[in-house]
């Protein structure tokens, strides 16, 4: 990739400030876990795999700064991270993994325990990079030369530790010599599609066209979309998928117009502990993101706002899941409609 959204430098975490994109490419050097939590909350780092990686590094940053690596301290820090964004399962999975790994270490030597924390965070990062490559490899089999793909929000390198999930499929198909066109939903209200996906695809030389969210149905009716590929923040045991708000609407449109609807996600996004969508906590965002997006007031003062960050697409609307272990069938009947 032509950019590095997340990396360790010495005992700091360096993040590409995604809230500044596409107008400004700024990197944040963070050596306090509270600053990393703040970066997660304000979406300077976002995407389920990426915030899991950032949280794992954040635990190591906290321990290094405090020179403490006892399990009680680390579990306390882990709970702080879990509260930052509750819907994405990768975040809680990553910090729980770090805690469990530390609890199994017999030594009380602080330096050894700190080394383990950093090593575990780096392992999580590297594993995600490799999973993205496998997702791309399996997903590229679904695409043929000349296809047009519609995607929502950002499920690319900016959202992961590698080439991305949904966009990783596109990048891999391109490397195989396939020429693709991509429509990117702007993804209201925070415009991750406009600000991030369009920027990222341009960086990688992919033919991308930005559309308003409510244009997707017309494109499908006109026969201009061959596939819809999205990422996921949590996938329940029954296959229900929590993803950026607007995904559910796309799935309904794709089903009606007989356009295949794929969810690309690593194994870490599958949550066996949650039976179905009823058990998924949906994060609620600030009303200001709707009424005064990016500092410009566009709604009357005092108006009520409902702004969930995610919605849930049921298993029945999903054609298949593209994972690092292969293609898994969804519940949508052949052809949709």
Look up tokens 């017309």; give the residue: 218
- Percent above pLDDT 70 for the chain: 99
Residue 122, Cβ neighbours under 10 Å: how many?
16
pLDDT digits (tens, 9 = 90+) for 233-254: 999 999 999 999 999 999 999 9
Q: Beta 12-16 vs 148-151: how paired, if at all?
A: unpaired
Confidence of residue 337 (pLDDT cuts 50, 70, 90): very low
The pLDDT, as a whole number, for residue 336 is 44
pLDDT digits (tens, 9 = 90+) for 8-41: 999 999 999 999 999 999 999 999 999 999 999 9
Cα–Cα distance between 168 and 190 in angstroms, integer?
22
Cα–Cα distance between 131 and 129 in angstroms, integer?
6
Between 71-82 and 48-66, two packed helices, what is the crossing angle to 10 degrees? 140
| DSSP string for 206-268 | -EEEEE-GGGHHHHHHTT--SEEEE--SEEETTS-EEEETTHHHHHHHHHHTT--EEEE--GG
3-class state of residue 123 by DSSP: helix
Average pLDDT over residues 303-319: 97
pLDDT digits (tens, 9 = 90+) for 102-158: 999 999 999 999 999 999 999 999 999 999 999 999 999 999 999 999 999 999 999
The pLDDT, as a whole number, for residue 333 is 84
Between 48-66 and 89-103, two packed helices, what is the crossing angle to 10 degrees? 40
- Percent above pLDDT 90 for the chain: 96
Catalytic residue numbers? 233
Instruction: State how far the alpha carbon of 323 is from the alpha carbons of 39, 238, 302, in Å.
Output: 28, 16, 44
Does pTM surpass 0.85? yes
In eight-state DSSP terms, residue 95 is: H
Please return the burial class of 54, using the count of CB atoms within 10 Å of its CB with bins 0-12, 13-18 and 19+: buried
The pLDDT, as a whole number, for residue 34 is 97
- CA gyration radius, the chain: 20
Mean pLDDT of the chain: 96
Instruction: State how far the alpha carbon of 53 is from the alpha carbons of 19, 127, 138, in Å.
Output: 18, 10, 23
Between 33-41 and 48-66, two packed helices, what is the crossing angle to 10 degrees? 160
pLDDT digits (tens, 9 = 90+) for 56-85: 999 999 999 999 999 999 999 999 999 999
Domains and CATH numbers, the chain: 6-132 (1.20.120.420), 136-329 (3.40.50.10470)
For CA atoms 124, 170, 210, 150, the dihedral sign is negative
Between 89-103 and 110-140, two packed helices, what is the crossing angle to 10 degrees? 140
8 A C-beta contact, residue 27 and residue 14: yes
Confidence of residue 1 (pLDDT cuts 50, 70, 90): confident
pLDDT digits (tens, 9 = 90+) for 198-217: 999 999 999 999 999 999 99
The pLDDT, as a whole number, for residue 300 is 98
The pLDDT, as a whole number, for residue 88 is 83
Q: Beta 227-230 vs 261-264: how paired, if at all?
A: parallel
Q: Is the pLDDT of residue 335 over 70?
A: no
């Amino acid at each position: 990739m032509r950019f590095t959204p997340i990396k360790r430098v010495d005992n700091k975490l360096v993040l590409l400030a995604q809230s500044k994109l596409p107008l400004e490419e700024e990197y944040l050097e963070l050596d306090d876990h509270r600053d990393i939590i703040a970066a997660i909350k304000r979406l300077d780092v976002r995407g389920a795999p990426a915030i899991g990686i950032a949280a794992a590094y954040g635990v190591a940053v906290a321990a290094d700064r405090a020179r403490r690596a006892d399990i009680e301290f680390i579990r306390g820090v882990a709970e702080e991270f879990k509260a930052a964004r509750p819907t994405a399962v990768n975040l809680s999975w990553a910090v729980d993994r770090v805690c469990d790994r530390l609890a199994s270490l017999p030594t009380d030597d602080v330096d050894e325990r700190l080394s383990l924390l950093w090593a575990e965070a780096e392992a999580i990062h590297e594993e995600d990079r490799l999973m993205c490559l496998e997702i791309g490899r399996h997903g590229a089999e679904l695409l043929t030369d000349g296809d047009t793909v519609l995607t929502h929000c950002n499920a690319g390198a900016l959202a992961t530790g590698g080439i991305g999930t949904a966009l990783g499929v596109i990048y891999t198909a391109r490397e195989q010599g396939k020429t693709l066109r991509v429509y990117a939903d702007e993804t209201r209200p925070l415009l991750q599609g406009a600000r991030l996906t369009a920027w990222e695809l341009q960086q990688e030389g992919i033919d991308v066209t930005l559309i308003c969210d409510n244009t997707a149905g017309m494109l499908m009716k006109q026969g201009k979309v061959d596939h819809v590929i999205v990422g996921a923040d949590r996938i329940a045991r029954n296959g229900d998928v929590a993803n950026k708000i607007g995904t559910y609407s796309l799935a309904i449109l794709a089903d009606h117009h007989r356009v295949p609807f794929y969810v690309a996600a690593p194994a870490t996004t599958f949550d066996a502990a949650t039976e179905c969508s009823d058990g998924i906590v949906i994060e609620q965002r600030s009303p200001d993101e709707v009424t005064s997006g990016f500092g410009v007031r566009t709604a009357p003062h005092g108006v009520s706002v409902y702004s969930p960050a995610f919605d849930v697409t049921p298993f029945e609307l999903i054609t298949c899941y593209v994972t690092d272990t292969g293609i898994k069938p969804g519940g949508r009947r052949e052809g949709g409609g």
